């Protein structure tokens, strides 16, 4: 079976790692994009010790509410329309406000005094240049919101926090800290701050402020370029697996799969595995990637190279090192404990985030 197995205990463990790194900050656990592909329903129960969850769309926010999440929900791109703003009020969603139309909606439709929507995450563009107010427009926006009765969390987003030594980090931190001081001095001493995503949590421990916003590290991947998930004591929360459905021996000189890319240098025992890019295993994977075959009898793990091009529904692997007679029907781990999804992503020229998110509907979802 094509299977995605989610491990809630790993997510709880990873959340505890966040809390150890940022012990005085509240935690907005990111569950956008269906909890980075893990499935929000499977993930929320593992996040009970978080102070809130972060989502990218109103639909995702409403789904989290429907699933019983009764604490903070932060809508990190805010409402897309005035109607969405009104729905946010109705369901007690805290919104980012990052541009003038959202400010207008907030001033025209003020939530009830005890509504969670009274807390707004005011987005400051410190150098990512995607969204947010600039230095000139942010202060007037903050004043208007404060006078209308909103509580403010100043927030921004790093462009290069994964790389500790990138020069933009110091600039973004300085701009953010300066603006937070200004707002506290000129508007209200109780303005809160939120600067750090996972990479910031790891790399910039002096700048955690009131709320941290971990995402990828909750799911067990490394958020920084110079420390592995293992070194950070993070556990992978997903195992992506399939099974061997046929065995063959290809002869020296034979080629395998589309484009005849892989050429057998010698007679080679191969196995067909029921997984492909139609499930979300990336087509770009080359012959330098391995999967783990778990034999059906001893449950021993064998690393086996992917050979030939990944197709929509199947891949071929080299099972020369797997003992005769125990390979058929064996479980094949595409990513999980080993190989780690970070390793597979590096070979696929991307980051684990994308592999986790771009899984299709086809694999069966389980909890482990």
Cβ atoms of residues 2 and 331 within 8 Å:
no
Q: Work out how close the CB of 231 gets to its own copies at its nearest, in angstroms, rounded to a whole number.
A: 22
**Under rule CB under 8 A, which residues in 333-362 are in contact with its own copies?**
349-351, 353-354, 357-362
The DSSP string of 43-54 is: HGGGGTTSSEEE
List Cα–Cα distances, 54 to 85, 134, 319, in angstroms.
16, 23, 43
C-alpha–C-alpha distance, residues 132 and 139, integer Å: 12
Count of CB atoms within 10 A of residue 362's CB? 13
130 has binding-site annotation = yes
- Does 168 participate in binding its own copies (rule CB under 8 A)? yes
- Does 284 participate in binding its own copies (rule CB under 8 A)? yes
Q: Which of 83, 205, 260, 321 binds its own copies (CB under 8 A)?
A: 260
Q: Which of 82, 107, 230, 247 binds its own copies (CB under 8 A)?
A: 247
- Does 245 participate in binding its own copies (rule CB under 8 A)? yes
Token pair in block for residue 259: 């484009």
Please list the residues that pair with 317 across neighbouring strands: 271, 306
Phi, psi of 205 (to 5 degrees): -65, -20
Q: Work out how close the CB of 345 gets to its own copies at its nearest, in angstroms, rounded to a whole number.
A: 10
For the chain, helix, strand, coil in percent to 5 are 30, 25, 45
Q: Which of 256, 319, 327, 344 binds its own copies (CB under 8 A)?
A: 256
Does 32 qualify as catalytic in the annotation? yes
- Does 34 participate in binding its own copies (rule CB under 8 A)? yes
194 membership: H or E segment, kind and range: strand 192-197
Task: Using alpha carbons, select from 331, 353, 349 the residue that is nearest to residue 220.
Answer: 353
Q: Cα angle vertex 279, ends 353, 240, to 5°? A: 60
C-alpha–C-alpha distance, residues 347 and 97, integer Å: 38
Return the HEC string of 215-232.
CHHHHCCCCCCCCCCCCC
Q: Which of 280, 304, 322, 342 binds its own copies (CB under 8 A)?
A: 280
- Does 139 participate in binding its own copies (rule CB under 8 A)? no
Q: Work out how close the CB of 278 gets to its own copies at its nearest, in angstroms, rounded to a whole number.
A: 3
Binding part of the chain for its own copies, among 86-94, 233-241, 250-258, 286-294 by CB under 8 A, reads 250-258
Of 32, 123, 192, 331, catalytic: 32
Q: Work out how close the CB of 180 gets to its own copies at its nearest, in angstroms, rounded to a whole number.
A: 22
Return the HEC string of 105-119.
HHHHCCCCCCCHHHE
Q: Which of 48, 81, 181, 188 binds its own copies (CB under 8 A)?
A: 81
Does 150 qualify as catalytic in the annotation? no
118 has binding-site annotation = no
C-alpha–C-alpha distance, residues 168 and 162, integer Å: 12
Q: Work out how close the CB of 230 gets to its own copies at its nearest, in angstroms, rounded to a whole number.
A: 24
Q: Which residue ranges are tagged as binding site?
A: 130, 312
Q: Which residue ranges are tagged as binding site for substrate?
A: 130, 312
Q: Which residues bind its own copies (CB under 8 A)?
A: 2, 32-34, 36-37, 56-57, 60, 76-77, 80-81, 98-99, 101, 125, 127-131, 159-160, 166, 168, 243, 245-248, 250, 254-260, 270, 272, 274, 276-280, 282-284, 308, 311-314, 316, 328-329, 349-351, 353-354, 357-362
**Any idea which residues carry the catalytic annotation?**
32, 258
């Amino acid at each position: 079976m094509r299977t995605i197995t989610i491990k809630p205990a790993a997510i709880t463990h990873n959340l505890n790692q966040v809390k150890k790194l940022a012990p005085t900050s509240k935690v907005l656990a990111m569950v956008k994009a269906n909890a980075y592909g893990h499935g929000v329903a499977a993930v929320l129960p593992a996040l009970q010790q978080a102070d809130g969850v972060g989502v990218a769309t109103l639909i995702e926010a409403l789904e989290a509410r429907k699933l019983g999440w009764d604490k903070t929900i932060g809508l990190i791109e805010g409402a897309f329309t005035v109607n969405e703003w009104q729905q946010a009020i109705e369901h007690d969603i805290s919104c980012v406000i990052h541009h003038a139309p959202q400010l207008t909606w907030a001033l025209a439709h003020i939530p009830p005094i005890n509504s969670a929507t009274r807390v707004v995450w005011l987005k400051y563009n410190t150098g990512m240049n995607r969204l947010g107010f600039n230095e000139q427009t942010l202060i007037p926006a903050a004043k208007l919101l404060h006078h209308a009765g909103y509580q403010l969390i100043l927030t921004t987003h790093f462009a290069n926090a994964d790389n500790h030594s990138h020069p933009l980090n110091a600039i973004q931190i300085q701009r953010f800290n300066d603006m937070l001081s200004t707002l506290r001095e000129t508007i209200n001493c109780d303005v809160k701050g939120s600067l750090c995503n996972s990479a910031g949590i790891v790399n910039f421990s002096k700048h955690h402020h009131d709320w941290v916003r971990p995402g990828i590290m909750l799911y067990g991947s490394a958020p920084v370029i110079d420390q592995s998930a293992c070194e950070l004591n993070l556990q992978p929360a997903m195992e992506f697996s399939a099974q061997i459905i046929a065995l063959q021996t290809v002869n020296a000189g034979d080629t395998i799969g589309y484009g005849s890319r892989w050429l057998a240098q010698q007679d080679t025992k191969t196995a067909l595995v029921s997984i492909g890019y139609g499930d979300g295993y990336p087509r770009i994977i080359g012959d330098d990637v391995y999967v783990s075959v778990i034999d059906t009898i001893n449950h021993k793990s064998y690393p086996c190279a992917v050979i030939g091009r990944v197709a929509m529904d199947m891949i071929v692997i080299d099972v020369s090192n797997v003992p005769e007679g125990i390979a058929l029907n064996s479980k094949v781990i595409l990513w999980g404990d080993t190989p780690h999804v970070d390793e597979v992503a590096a070979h696929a020229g991307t980051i684990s985030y994308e592999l986790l998110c771009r899984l299709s509907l086809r694999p069966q979802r389980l909890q482990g």
